[in-house]
Amino acid sequence: MPYSFLYSTNPARIVFGPGSLAQIADEVRRLECTRALVLSTPFQREDAERLSQQLGELGAGVFSEAAMHTPVEVTEQAMAAFAAVKADCVVALGGGSTIGLGKAIAYRNNAPQVVVATTYAGSEVTPILGQTENGVKTTVKDASILPEVVIYDAELTLGLPVSMSVTSGLNAMAHAVEGLYAKDRNPITTLMAMEGIRSLKEALPVIVERPENVEARSKALYGSWLCGTVLGTVGMALHHKLCHTLGGSFNLPHAETHAIMLAHTVAYNARAAKDVLTPVAELFGGELGGGLYDFARSLGAPLALKDLGLAEAELDLAAGLAMKNPYWNPQPVEKEAVRELLQYAWSGARPE
Ligand code: NAD
Protein backbone atom coordinates (compact mmCIF):
# COMPACT_ATOMS: atom_id res chain seq x y z
CA MET A 1 0.00 0.00 0.00
CA PRO A 2 1.36 3.52 -0.77
CA TYR A 3 2.11 5.72 2.24
CA SER A 4 -0.68 8.02 3.29
CA PHE A 5 -0.45 9.89 6.61
CA LEU A 6 -0.63 13.13 8.54
CA TYR A 7 2.62 14.02 10.30
CA SER A 8 2.29 16.32 13.28
CA THR A 9 4.62 16.43 16.30
CA ASN A 10 4.46 17.95 19.75
CA PRO A 11 7.05 20.62 20.52
CA ALA A 12 9.65 19.15 22.86
CA ARG A 13 12.88 20.27 24.44
CA ILE A 14 14.68 17.21 25.73
CA VAL A 15 17.82 17.53 27.84
CA PHE A 16 19.27 14.03 27.95
CA GLY A 17 22.31 12.59 29.68
CA PRO A 18 23.74 11.41 33.01
CA GLY A 19 24.38 14.52 35.13
CA SER A 20 22.02 16.70 33.08
CA LEU A 21 20.13 17.76 36.21
CA ALA A 22 22.98 20.29 36.61
CA GLN A 23 21.32 22.28 33.82
CA ILE A 24 18.05 22.80 35.62
CA ALA A 25 18.60 26.42 36.64
CA ASP A 26 19.54 27.36 33.08
CA GLU A 27 16.39 25.66 31.82
CA VAL A 28 14.18 27.57 34.27
CA ARG A 29 15.83 30.85 33.24
CA ARG A 30 15.44 29.97 29.58
CA LEU A 31 11.69 29.87 30.15
CA GLU A 32 12.04 33.39 31.60
CA CYS A 33 10.83 32.12 34.96
CA THR A 34 12.15 33.27 38.32
CA ARG A 35 10.25 31.26 40.96
CA ALA A 36 9.87 27.50 40.59
CA LEU A 37 7.59 25.39 42.80
CA VAL A 38 9.23 21.96 43.02
CA LEU A 39 6.75 19.04 43.08
CA SER A 40 7.23 15.47 44.30
CA THR A 41 5.49 12.61 46.09
CA PRO A 42 6.05 12.30 49.86
CA PHE A 43 8.52 9.49 49.05
CA GLN A 44 10.78 11.80 47.01
CA ARG A 45 10.45 14.83 49.30
CA GLU A 46 14.11 14.93 50.31
CA ASP A 47 15.22 14.85 46.68
CA ALA A 48 12.77 17.66 45.92
CA GLU A 49 14.14 19.77 48.75
CA ARG A 50 17.67 19.22 47.55
CA LEU A 51 16.59 20.24 44.07
CA SER A 52 14.92 23.39 45.38
CA GLN A 53 18.18 24.29 47.15
CA GLN A 54 20.11 23.59 43.95
CA LEU A 55 17.85 26.11 42.22
CA GLY A 56 19.01 28.78 44.68
CA GLU A 57 17.03 31.99 44.32
CA LEU A 58 14.95 30.35 41.55
CA GLY A 59 13.51 27.85 44.07
CA ALA A 60 10.25 29.17 45.51
CA GLY A 61 9.34 26.12 47.61
CA VAL A 62 8.39 22.43 47.61
CA PHE A 63 4.98 20.77 47.44
CA SER A 64 5.42 17.06 48.08
CA GLU A 65 1.91 15.63 48.21
CA ALA A 66 1.61 14.32 44.64
CA ALA A 67 -0.46 11.10 44.50
CA MET A 68 -1.38 8.42 41.97
CA HIS A 69 -4.16 9.33 39.46
CA THR A 70 -3.92 13.09 40.22
CA PRO A 71 -6.77 13.61 42.72
CA VAL A 72 -8.39 17.02 42.19
CA GLU A 73 -8.23 17.80 45.96
CA VAL A 74 -4.43 17.49 45.86
CA THR A 75 -4.28 19.74 42.79
CA GLU A 76 -6.30 22.36 44.66
CA GLN A 77 -3.84 22.27 47.57
CA ALA A 78 -0.95 22.57 45.11
CA MET A 79 -2.63 25.54 43.38
CA ALA A 80 -2.87 27.24 46.79
CA ALA A 81 0.83 26.51 47.45
CA PHE A 82 1.73 27.85 43.99
CA ALA A 83 -0.09 31.12 44.72
CA ALA A 84 1.23 31.38 48.30
CA VAL A 85 4.89 31.29 47.22
CA LYS A 86 4.20 33.46 44.13
CA ALA A 87 5.58 30.78 41.82
CA ASP A 88 5.69 31.33 38.06
CA CYS A 89 6.57 27.77 36.95
CA VAL A 90 6.66 24.20 38.22
CA VAL A 91 9.50 21.70 38.34
CA ALA A 92 8.10 18.17 38.62
CA LEU A 93 10.61 15.65 39.97
CA GLY A 94 9.36 12.08 39.71
CA GLY A 95 7.18 9.69 37.76
CA GLY A 96 3.71 9.91 36.26
CA SER A 97 2.04 10.86 39.54
CA THR A 98 4.17 13.95 40.14
CA ILE A 99 4.21 14.86 36.47
CA GLY A 100 0.40 14.57 36.49
CA LEU A 101 0.23 17.15 39.28
CA GLY A 102 2.47 19.55 37.33
CA LYS A 103 0.25 19.09 34.29
CA ALA A 104 -2.90 19.68 36.34
CA ILE A 105 -1.46 22.99 37.58
CA ALA A 106 -0.40 24.02 34.08
CA TYR A 107 -3.84 23.14 32.73
CA ARG A 108 -5.38 25.54 35.23
CA ASN A 109 -2.93 28.47 35.11
CA ASN A 110 -0.74 27.81 32.04
CA ALA A 111 2.43 27.68 34.18
CA PRO A 112 5.50 26.49 32.25
CA GLN A 113 6.69 23.04 33.34
CA VAL A 114 10.16 21.57 33.64
CA VAL A 115 9.99 17.83 34.25
CA VAL A 116 12.78 15.73 35.71
CA ALA A 117 11.54 12.24 34.80
CA THR A 118 12.56 9.45 37.18
CA THR A 119 10.44 6.49 35.97
CA TYR A 120 9.76 5.05 32.51
CA ALA A 121 6.00 5.82 32.34
CA GLY A 122 6.41 8.43 29.59
CA SER A 123 3.86 10.98 30.82
CA GLU A 124 6.39 13.84 30.52
CA VAL A 125 6.09 13.95 26.72
CA THR A 126 2.31 13.78 26.35
CA PRO A 127 -0.32 16.54 26.29
CA ILE A 128 -2.63 14.21 28.24
CA LEU A 129 -3.77 14.60 31.85
CA GLY A 130 -5.70 11.93 33.74
CA GLN A 131 -7.27 13.18 36.96
CA THR A 132 -9.70 11.77 39.51
CA GLU A 133 -12.62 13.39 41.25
CA ASN A 134 -15.07 11.49 43.47
CA GLY A 135 -13.47 8.22 42.39
CA VAL A 136 -13.97 8.87 38.66
CA LYS A 137 -10.92 9.21 36.44
CA THR A 138 -11.27 11.43 33.39
CA THR A 139 -8.73 12.34 30.75
CA VAL A 140 -8.16 15.70 29.07
CA LYS A 141 -5.86 16.57 26.19
CA ASP A 142 -4.67 20.14 25.70
CA ALA A 143 -1.57 21.92 24.44
CA SER A 144 -1.10 23.64 27.84
CA ILE A 145 -0.62 20.19 29.45
CA LEU A 146 2.50 19.28 27.47
CA PRO A 147 5.62 20.07 29.55
CA GLU A 148 7.97 22.65 27.97
CA VAL A 149 11.22 20.94 29.00
CA VAL A 150 12.12 17.40 30.04
CA ILE A 151 15.38 16.49 31.74
CA TYR A 152 16.34 12.82 31.55
CA ASP A 153 19.21 12.18 33.93
CA ALA A 154 19.86 8.45 34.32
CA GLU A 155 21.76 9.03 37.57
CA LEU A 156 18.43 9.89 39.22
CA THR A 157 17.00 6.50 38.25
CA LEU A 158 19.74 4.34 39.78
CA GLY A 159 17.63 4.00 42.94
CA LEU A 160 14.36 3.20 41.17
CA PRO A 161 13.59 -0.21 42.70
CA VAL A 162 14.08 -3.12 40.27
CA SER A 163 10.43 -4.17 40.51
CA MET A 164 9.26 -0.67 39.58
CA SER A 165 11.87 -0.38 36.85
CA VAL A 166 10.51 -3.56 35.29
CA THR A 167 6.81 -2.70 35.49
CA SER A 168 7.42 0.89 34.44
CA GLY A 169 9.52 -0.29 31.48
CA LEU A 170 6.76 -2.67 30.38
CA ASN A 171 4.28 0.21 30.75
CA ALA A 172 6.43 2.19 28.30
CA MET A 173 6.60 -0.74 25.87
CA ALA A 174 2.80 -0.93 25.89
CA HIS A 175 2.61 2.66 24.56
CA ALA A 176 4.86 1.69 21.67
CA VAL A 177 3.07 -1.59 20.90
CA GLU A 178 -0.28 0.17 20.65
CA GLY A 179 1.37 2.93 18.62
CA LEU A 180 2.43 0.36 16.03
CA TYR A 181 -1.18 -0.45 15.13
CA ALA A 182 -2.69 2.99 15.82
CA LYS A 183 -4.93 4.16 13.01
CA ASP A 184 -3.19 7.56 12.95
CA ARG A 185 0.37 6.18 13.07
CA ASN A 186 2.99 7.52 10.68
CA PRO A 187 6.41 6.18 9.64
CA ILE A 188 8.19 8.27 12.29
CA THR A 189 6.04 7.04 15.19
CA THR A 190 6.65 3.50 13.94
CA LEU A 191 10.43 4.08 13.95
CA MET A 192 10.23 5.53 17.44
CA ALA A 193 8.05 2.69 18.69
CA MET A 194 10.37 -0.04 17.42
CA GLU A 195 13.51 1.72 18.70
CA GLY A 196 11.80 2.27 22.05
CA ILE A 197 10.77 -1.39 22.40
CA ARG A 198 14.24 -2.57 21.34
CA SER A 199 16.00 -0.26 23.80
CA LEU A 200 13.85 -1.38 26.72
CA LYS A 201 14.17 -5.02 25.75
CA GLU A 202 17.96 -4.67 25.91
CA ALA A 203 18.08 -2.50 29.03
CA LEU A 204 15.62 -4.15 31.42
CA PRO A 205 17.42 -7.51 31.85
CA VAL A 206 20.66 -5.64 32.62
CA ILE A 207 18.87 -3.42 35.16
CA VAL A 208 17.48 -6.52 36.90
CA GLU A 209 21.02 -7.87 37.26
CA ARG A 210 22.79 -4.57 37.89
CA PRO A 211 20.38 -1.78 38.93
CA GLU A 212 23.24 0.73 39.17
CA ASN A 213 24.42 0.29 35.61
CA VAL A 214 24.20 3.82 34.21
CA GLU A 215 24.40 2.69 30.60
CA ALA A 216 21.40 0.37 30.94
CA ARG A 217 19.52 3.01 32.94
CA SER A 218 20.25 5.53 30.21
CA LYS A 219 19.09 3.16 27.48
CA ALA A 220 15.86 2.49 29.39
CA LEU A 221 15.20 6.23 29.75
CA TYR A 222 15.91 6.70 26.05
CA GLY A 223 13.42 3.93 25.26
CA SER A 224 10.83 5.38 27.59
CA TRP A 225 11.18 8.82 25.99
CA LEU A 226 10.53 7.29 22.56
CA CYS A 227 7.60 5.17 23.78
CA GLY A 228 6.12 8.15 25.65
CA THR A 229 6.40 10.30 22.54
CA VAL A 230 4.44 7.68 20.61
CA LEU A 231 1.76 7.73 23.34
CA GLY A 232 1.57 11.53 23.07
CA THR A 233 1.28 11.50 19.28
CA VAL A 234 -1.09 8.71 18.22
CA GLY A 235 -4.27 7.09 19.54
CA MET A 236 -4.24 4.10 21.89
CA ALA A 237 -6.62 1.12 21.84
CA LEU A 238 -7.71 -2.01 23.77
CA HIS A 239 -4.66 -2.26 26.03
CA HIS A 240 -4.85 1.29 27.38
CA LYS A 241 -8.63 1.17 27.60
CA LEU A 242 -8.56 -2.01 29.71
CA CYS A 243 -5.77 -0.71 31.96
CA HIS A 244 -7.66 2.56 32.41
CA THR A 245 -10.75 0.59 33.50
CA LEU A 246 -8.78 -1.66 35.85
CA GLY A 247 -6.92 1.30 37.40
CA GLY A 248 -9.84 3.74 37.49
CA SER A 249 -12.67 1.43 38.60
CA PHE A 250 -10.83 -1.27 40.58
CA ASN A 251 -7.96 0.84 41.90
CA LEU A 252 -5.27 -1.52 40.57
CA PRO A 253 -1.73 -0.05 40.50
CA HIS A 254 -0.87 1.58 37.18
CA ALA A 255 2.49 0.16 36.06
CA GLU A 256 1.87 -3.39 37.39
CA THR A 257 -1.49 -3.56 35.59
CA HIS A 258 0.12 -2.50 32.30
CA ALA A 259 2.90 -5.04 32.84
CA ILE A 260 0.43 -7.91 33.28
CA MET A 261 -2.00 -6.90 30.54
CA LEU A 262 0.48 -6.27 27.72
CA ALA A 263 1.08 -9.91 26.73
CA HIS A 264 -2.68 -10.59 26.68
CA THR A 265 -3.79 -7.52 24.75
CA VAL A 266 -1.06 -8.00 22.17
CA ALA A 267 -2.13 -11.63 21.77
CA TYR A 268 -5.72 -10.44 21.26
CA ASN A 269 -4.63 -8.09 18.46
CA ALA A 270 -1.93 -10.35 17.01
CA ARG A 271 -3.87 -11.63 14.02
CA ALA A 272 -5.64 -8.40 13.06
CA ALA A 273 -2.40 -6.35 13.23
CA LYS A 274 -0.05 -9.10 12.09
CA ASP A 275 1.95 -7.06 9.56
CA VAL A 276 2.84 -4.22 11.89
CA LEU A 277 3.44 -6.49 14.90
CA THR A 278 5.70 -9.01 13.14
CA PRO A 279 8.90 -7.05 13.98
CA VAL A 280 7.90 -7.19 17.67
CA ALA A 281 7.25 -10.92 17.49
CA GLU A 282 10.70 -11.37 15.93
CA LEU A 283 12.29 -9.46 18.81
CA PHE A 284 10.61 -11.76 21.33
CA GLY A 285 11.41 -15.15 19.88
CA GLY A 286 8.82 -15.36 17.12
CA GLU A 287 5.71 -15.32 19.31
CA LEU A 288 3.87 -12.15 20.28
CA GLY A 289 1.80 -12.76 23.41
CA GLY A 290 3.83 -15.75 24.57
CA GLY A 291 7.11 -14.00 23.84
CA LEU A 292 6.18 -10.90 25.81
CA TYR A 293 4.83 -13.08 28.64
CA ASP A 294 8.11 -15.01 28.83
CA PHE A 295 10.06 -11.75 28.77
CA ALA A 296 8.00 -10.30 31.64
CA ARG A 297 8.37 -13.53 33.62
CA SER A 298 12.14 -13.58 33.07
CA LEU A 299 12.29 -10.09 34.64
CA GLY A 300 10.28 -11.17 37.68
CA ALA A 301 7.30 -8.98 36.74
CA PRO A 302 3.89 -9.70 38.26
CA LEU A 303 1.91 -11.97 35.93
CA ALA A 304 -1.58 -12.27 37.41
CA LEU A 305 -4.25 -9.66 38.16
CA LYS A 306 -5.38 -11.80 41.10
CA ASP A 307 -2.05 -10.98 42.76
CA LEU A 308 -2.90 -7.27 42.53
CA GLY A 309 -6.05 -7.86 44.58
CA LEU A 310 -8.68 -8.14 41.83
CA ALA A 311 -11.44 -10.65 42.68
CA GLU A 312 -12.48 -13.18 40.04
CA ALA A 313 -16.08 -12.11 40.60
CA GLU A 314 -15.17 -8.62 39.33
CA LEU A 315 -14.10 -9.80 35.87
CA ASP A 316 -17.64 -9.66 34.41
CA LEU A 317 -18.01 -6.07 35.55
CA ALA A 318 -14.55 -5.18 34.19
CA ALA A 319 -15.41 -6.70 30.79
CA GLY A 320 -18.72 -4.82 30.76
CA LEU A 321 -17.08 -1.49 31.63
CA ALA A 322 -14.48 -2.01 28.91
CA MET A 323 -17.29 -2.29 26.35
CA LYS A 324 -18.65 1.16 27.20
CA ASN A 325 -17.73 4.11 24.97
CA PRO A 326 -16.72 2.14 21.87
CA TYR A 327 -13.25 2.91 20.46
CA TRP A 328 -11.18 1.72 17.56
CA ASN A 329 -9.08 -1.44 17.93
CA PRO A 330 -7.51 -3.57 15.17
CA GLN A 331 -9.46 -6.64 16.34
CA PRO A 332 -13.16 -5.97 17.03
CA VAL A 333 -13.72 -5.59 20.78
CA GLU A 334 -16.20 -8.33 21.73
CA LYS A 335 -17.40 -8.88 25.28
CA GLU A 336 -16.94 -12.66 25.37
CA ALA A 337 -13.41 -12.44 23.98
CA VAL A 338 -12.46 -9.59 26.33
CA ARG A 339 -13.87 -11.56 29.27
CA GLU A 340 -11.70 -14.53 28.24
CA LEU A 341 -8.63 -12.29 27.91
CA LEU A 342 -9.29 -10.95 31.40
CA GLN A 343 -9.61 -14.50 32.76
CA TYR A 344 -6.17 -15.34 31.38
CA ALA A 345 -4.66 -12.15 32.79
CA TRP A 346 -6.38 -12.69 36.13
CA SER A 347 -5.02 -16.22 36.56
CA GLY A 348 -1.60 -15.42 35.12
CA ALA A 349 -1.81 -18.02 32.33
CA ARG A 350 0.53 -17.73 29.36
CA PRO A 351 -1.42 -16.43 26.34
CA GLU A 352 -1.80 -18.98 23.54
P1 NAD B 1 4.60 7.06 40.21
O2 NAD B 1 4.91 8.40 39.69
O3 NAD B 1 3.31 6.89 40.96
O4 NAD B 1 5.80 6.60 41.15
C5 NAD B 1 5.66 5.50 42.04
C6 NAD B 1 6.52 5.70 43.27
O7 NAD B 1 7.90 5.62 42.93
C8 NAD B 1 6.33 7.08 43.91
O9 NAD B 1 6.34 6.96 45.30
C10 NAD B 1 7.55 7.84 43.43
O11 NAD B 1 7.89 8.90 44.28
C12 NAD B 1 8.61 6.75 43.40
N13 NAD B 1 9.72 7.02 42.48
C14 NAD B 1 9.65 7.59 41.26
N15 NAD B 1 10.87 7.66 40.71
C16 NAD B 1 11.73 7.12 41.60
C17 NAD B 1 13.15 6.89 41.61
N18 NAD B 1 13.90 7.18 40.55
N19 NAD B 1 13.70 6.31 42.68
C20 NAD B 1 12.93 5.94 43.74
N21 NAD B 1 11.59 6.12 43.79
C22 NAD B 1 11.00 6.70 42.73
O23 NAD B 1 4.64 5.94 39.09
P24 NAD B 1 4.51 6.00 37.50
O25 NAD B 1 4.22 4.62 37.08
O26 NAD B 1 5.63 6.74 36.90
O27 NAD B 1 3.21 6.90 37.27
C28 NAD B 1 1.90 6.40 37.35
C29 NAD B 1 0.91 7.53 37.12
O30 NAD B 1 1.23 8.21 35.92
C31 NAD B 1 -0.53 7.05 36.96
O32 NAD B 1 -1.39 7.94 37.67
C33 NAD B 1 -0.76 7.12 35.47
O34 NAD B 1 -2.13 7.30 35.14
C35 NAD B 1 0.08 8.31 35.09
N36 NAD B 1 0.53 8.29 33.66
C37 NAD B 1 0.08 9.27 32.85
C38 NAD B 1 0.47 9.32 31.53
C39 NAD B 1 -0.03 10.43 30.65
O40 NAD B 1 0.42 10.56 29.52
N41 NAD B 1 -0.93 11.25 31.12
C42 NAD B 1 1.37 8.36 31.03
C43 NAD B 1 1.84 7.36 31.88
C44 NAD B 1 1.42 7.35 33.22
| CA 24 to the chain's CA centroid | 22
CB distance 269 to ligand 1 below 6 Å: no
The reported pTM is: 0.97
Residues 6+ apart with CB under 8 A from 211: 158, 160, 161, 162, 165
**pLDDT tens series, the chain, 352 aa:** 799 999 988 998 999 999 999 999 999 999 999 999 999 999 999 999 999 999 999 999 999 999 998 999 999 999 999 999 999 999 999 999 999 999 999 999 999 999 999 999 999 999 999 998 887 788 999 999 999 999 999 999 999 999 999 999 999 999 999 999 999 999 999 999 999 999 999 999 999 999 999 999 999 999 999 999 999 999 999 999 999 999 988 999 999 999 999 999 999 999 999 999 999 999 999 999 999 999 999 999 999 999 999 999 999 999 999 898 889 999 999 999 999 999 999 999 999 8
CATH 1.20.1090.10 domain locations along the chain: 162-347
| CA 214 to the chain's CA centroid | 21
Mutate to test the pocket of ligand 1, among 47, 50, 65, 68 (most ligand atoms within 8 A of CB): 68
What is the domain class of 162-347 according to CATH?
mainly alpha
> Helix H segments across the chain?
24-30, 45-54, 72-84, 96-109, 162-180, 187-209, 214-233, 238-250, 254-269, 274-283, 289-298, 315-323, 335-347
CB distance 121 to ligand 1 below 6 Å: yes
CB distance 245 to ligand 1 below 6 Å: no
Mutate to test the pocket of ligand 1, among 38, 47, 97 (most ligand atoms within 8 A of CB): 97
Distance between Cα 87 and ligand 1 center (Å): 24
Mutate to test the pocket of ligand 1, among 38, 72, 118, 119 (most ligand atoms within 8 A of CB): 119
CATH 3.40.50.1970 domain locations along the chain: 13-157
Please tell us whether the domain made up of 13-157 is placed in CATH 3.40.640.10: no
CB distance 255 to ligand 1 below 6 Å: yes
ipTM of the complex: 0.99
CB distance 95 to ligand 1 below 6 Å: yes
Ligand 1 atom, smallest distance to 120 CA: 26
CB distance 128 to ligand 1 below 6 Å: yes
